[in-house]
Chain A
């Protein structure tokens, strides 16, 4: 087997040979020629076979010539300089970075190009007077780096990145370090003061050191820690005692008590503990904030829709208009492979439309003049003219996004474990503080305030607040390494709590790639089979290619005659024998037609031989996954497809698993909702736009994706298809992670009890707090990290 020098694919029997190198197709060879002629062959030595074969793009990017659209896509545009940021899904290795950053070698009008690898995007500055945006995009497509441009990019200006957390972390760390330094004299000179004859120099400047610490703590309390005050305040206003309440209380009491202490020269204050506390808390937040920047969990239909369409105006003039400008009654031209952006009626042309994205129906449907077509369908053959019935936002599919579920924030409805603990914790701490204060008021009133504040300081739930971010943040990373990408850490908590799992069928538990087919009918003779294979060889139809790959090897022979009838089938003959493959009508047996299954019919010398029935191929390990999951959860299948696969599914799934077919996107959403109203916690596993509503409604929506670079609908997590069989393991792992958090809570409560011992007896020294607080935090971090890694090792 020879693999392509450019893309690494199998070159087959007849490779294209150029420069002593094998290529799988003309496209790959052309890319090589382009690179070689511009001294860019280095591309192949950084990473072998890193390329992608270019796809034909003729006419596809014509809309970029429209100045308004080009303007909307650019970050900046002026005479002689235009800057665009393009998303390129193919970016995957160092060769990609190298070639894209050397774009100026290919075209001198490109001034600079900078790749952002994690985001898979490239930012290009170029001279629009020399090379237009369209030419640039075509150039990139020609070298196999086709940008993905969708309606989502339209009018999207450069997003300002939120870097406030990293600033806050910087401020807190800076102040923490400096305050530790300034506290040194106090640490070494513990019990002494000027009166008792301590170190003279240190005592001399004691108040200077203290006021400097005060100054350093100001930005920490009022800037770095401000989030905790805001969130505690918001929580209290809506009557929720979140974990941020005791934290905010702790920070405030620490600051006030410390200021009070140095003001009246009572002690050195707790500025070191205060800044350390805020620093560690922010560090936890930072750790939790792992994002997969190249994945988006917020996509809606806009990511799939084109930016512009060809409108046929009066006098048959074709013009490109932005999708948003489509009006009711416009006539649009939809080319082969393009997406239908609005609901409409076909006025000219006959076509097959692939609605798999919208309905989950796996087979394309035939539509002709006068039929209604819906937005989201992909046009598969020839050119089509439609008259629009609605605008984009009012179309059948896009209406789904009008549902309020898409504007709701799932996370806000869910109370995390930390918050539910935080509530009890706050009540307990406040009770202890008040009881202790009351006790001391009776016995030694001078100590009462001291004890009251000491309790609040020492009970500040730093370790508790850190347990969840570190455990879940680490789990998120571990899952990411196993190709299970979750939106945020709260998703893990919700995943741990689910008890019902709903699966979509097409594309979720079935694979799109390998189709299996069984033959029903009379056995074909070797000659017939050979003839069949050779007839199929010439066809590009997906079914022909799938069938071709399944048939046994036969020698290649030249057919005497070969004809392909578009949309019907094809025939080939050699000598006396003639074979026809295609639809039932075409091969002359209209009664064999079966609407439920996809089949290819065969006739030899006009005698009907039989049919190849295609079955959906289920993902590896589906049966095992379902049988293990069924032990602890309720399962169901929710499919937009017809019932043709019911019997196969029944064999595959545990007995009595409910199955629902012909479900519309909105019905799927309602189904999930009704389950939730019955107190179920639902995980939805789906893949297409038709599941978008259900994914958004469910407690945890997981999108299955064959290739994570390809778009998946808005969801809480993306699971790579090859890992589908491990889904249950991941659910169990998140349950275990929650156990770790509970264990950490116990551990940190132990620290709090020790600390409270000091606080209640009125002996809390700043140095004790300064040791106890970091010690508890660090030990929690170590504990959670070790434990989650242990869980991670057990995962496949």
Chain B
């Protein structure tokens, strides 16, 4: 029965995709600094950006 070959292939391909994702993540330096991103995501950056936009408009006239 060849269906088991198909299933095995799929399962291994899926596993390998995740494995590649892991390698890419490590390579990009994601695991080098495991603290700063956790703080960075909490910043309210809306406030800064809004004012920034206000300023840029007159400059671009």
Chain A contacts to B: CB under 8 angstroms: 39-40, 42, 46, 94, 97-98, 101-102, 105, 114-119, 161, 163, 166-167, 170, 174, 177-178, 181, 201, 204-205, 208, 212
CB distance from B32 to the nearest CB of A (A): 6
Q: Would you call B48 and A102 a contact (CB within 8 A)? A: yes
CB distance from A393 to the nearest CB of B (A): 33
Q: Would you call B26 and A163 a contact (CB within 8 A)? A: yes
What number of B residues sit within 8 Å (CB to CB) of A? 28
> Does B42 lie at the interface of the complex (its beta carbon under 8 Å from any beta carbon of A)?
yes
Chain B contacts to A: CB under 8 angstroms: 1, 4-5, 8, 11-12, 15, 19, 22-23, 26-27, 29, 31-36, 39-40, 42-44, 47-48, 51-52
Which of B32, B36, B43, B47 is the one whose CB lies under 8 Å from A161? B32
A-B contacts, 11 of them at CB < 8 A, read A39-B51, A94-B39, A98-B43, A116-B36, A117-B35, A118-B33, A166-B26, A170-B23, A178-B15, A208-B4, A212-B12
CB distance from A528 to the nearest CB of B (A): 55
Residues in A with CB closer than 8 Å to B27 are 163
Q: Would you call A170 and B19 a contact (CB within 8 A)? A: yes
Give the docked Cα–Cα distance between A181 and B15 (Å).
Answer: 12
Q: Would you call B31 and A166 a contact (CB within 8 A)? A: yes
Residues in A with CB closer than 8 Å to B48 are 39-40, 42, 102, 105
Residues in A with CB closer than 8 Å to B51 are 39
Residues in B with CB closer than 8 Å to A212 are 8, 12
Q: Would you call A101 and B35 a contact (CB within 8 A)? A: no
**Known A-B contacts A105-B48, A161-B29; A97 and B15 likewise in contact (beta carbons under 8 Å):** no
Q: Would you call A118 and B47 a contact (CB within 8 A)? A: no
Q: Would you call A167 and B23 a contact (CB within 8 A)? A: yes
Residues in B with CB closer than 8 Å to A114 are 36
CB distance from A104 to the nearest CB of B (A): 9
Q: Would you call A118 and B22 a contact (CB within 8 A)? A: no
- Which residue on A lies nearest to B38, using beta carbons? A117
Q: Apart from A39-B52, A97-B39, list 10 A-B contacts with CB within 8 A.
A: A39-B51, A42-B44, A94-B43, A115-B36, A117-B39, A118-B36, A161-B32, A170-B22, A174-B19, A212-B12
**Known A-B contacts A167-B23, A170-B26; A117 and B31 likewise in contact (beta carbons under 8 Å):** no
Give the docked Cα–Cα distance between A208 and B8 (Å).
Answer: 10
Which of A97, A119, A178 is the one whose CB lies under 8 Å from B40? A97
Residues in A with CB closer than 8 Å to B4 are 201, 205, 208
CB distance from A675 to the nearest CB of B (A): 41
CB distance from B29 to the nearest CB of A (A): 7
Residues in A with CB closer than 8 Å to B43 are 46, 94, 98
CB distance from B59 to the nearest CB of A (A): 10
Which of B11, B23, B35 is the one whose CB lies under 8 Å from A118? B35
Give the docked Cα–Cα distance between A606 and B19 (Å).
Answer: 85
- Which residue on B lies nearest to A178, using beta carbons? B15
Give the docked Cα–Cα distance between A136 and B43 (Å).
Answer: 24
Give the docked Cα–Cα distance between A381 and B35 (Å).
Answer: 42
Residues in B with CB closer than 8 Å to A178 are 12, 15
Residues in A with CB closer than 8 Å to B40 are 97, 101
**Known A-B contacts A94-B42, A97-B40; A116 and B8 likewise in contact (beta carbons under 8 Å):** no
Residues in A with CB closer than 8 Å to B11 are 181
Give the docked Cα–Cα distance between A101 and B11 (Å).
Answer: 42
